[in-house]
Structure 1
Amino acid sequence: MKEIVFSPDAVPPLTTFSQAIKSKGFIYVSGNIGCTQDFTIVEGGVGAQTVVALESIRNILQAAGSGLHHVVKANIYLTDLERDFSQMNSAYMTFFNERAMPARTCVGVARLPLGASVEIECVAELPDA
């Protein structure tokens, strides 16, 4: 049975999706962009947006009873892969243990919501209770 996850410390979801869903030992976190609670893109470029997106994901995972160290797969979308990959990657690596990085896909896309430069989604395990 699936369970909706909500964190008041993350960007609120639109009516068309949940922040995350817990199901069968995993948490499926919806895409997060680097914006404030009122949907304003943060200043500072893709590095700053990556940090804010991952902070939001971290808060959602904590609300679900998990954490970033339980992420098994991340998908990252960049509007300018060539220009932004290095900055995004540098910010991303500060959130994960270098010896236990999740599996990851990073692709370039035409556009993202609100004009964001990066969007990140992930799947994490629920730790054993």
Structure 2
Amino acid sequence: MPNQAITTTAAPAPVGPYNQAVLAGGWLYCSGQIPLDPTTGAMVGAGDVAAETYQVLKNLKAVLSEAGASAEQVVRTTVFLADLADFATVNAIYAEMFGSGVSPARACVQVAALPKGARVEIDCVAWLG
């Protein structure tokens, strides 16, 4: 079965040559989401990491939904932070989406910079098979 691009207007359009997600053999690979408003393309949160994290997870949830998936099917995430001092704040909000049942495996790293000056970016892999 060929790979299938997943696209939704409920999440921001990609800012480069990639898809919001790709479905491949029962696995859904979601590209990293930053806190962009899907309608305007503007950054959300004005540097407030909590507001940014809520928008990132809203965007990620929209991509999952378009593929027929939910947060419960996510098996792996990567959290990218501009500042690890934001870890506790992001972790608490992340737990609202992924904290029930079996939480996904996860990596969390601090990076030098994120696109458009975001403070947080999250990607994920989900099993749909």
After TM superposition, the score normalised by the length of structure 2 is: 0.92
Deviations 1:17-53 (A, max 9, x none): 1000000111000010112123322126111111111
Contact 1:76 1:107 in 2 (8 A): yes
Distance in 2 separating the partners of 1:102 and 1:15: 27
The percentage of aligned residue pairs carrying the same residue is 36
Indicate the RMSD between aligned Cα atoms, in angstroms: 1.3
Contact 1:43 1:49 in 2 (8 A): yes
Moved more, 35-44 or 102-111: 35-44
Contact 1:47 1:90 in 2 (8 A): no
**What are the ranges of 5 or more consecutive residues in structure 1 without an aligned counterpart?**
none
**What are the ranges of 5 or more consecutive residues in structure 2 without an aligned counterpart?**
none
- Equivalent residue for 2:65? 62
Distance in 2 separating the partners of 1:99 and 1:88: 19
Distance in 1 separating the partners of 2:79 and 2:53: 10
Distance in 1 separating the partners of 2:97 and 2:16: 29
Deviation, structure 1 residue 15: 4.4
Work out the number of aligned pairs and report it.
126
- Equivalent residue for 2:88? 86
After TM superposition, the score normalised by the length of structure 1 is: 0.92
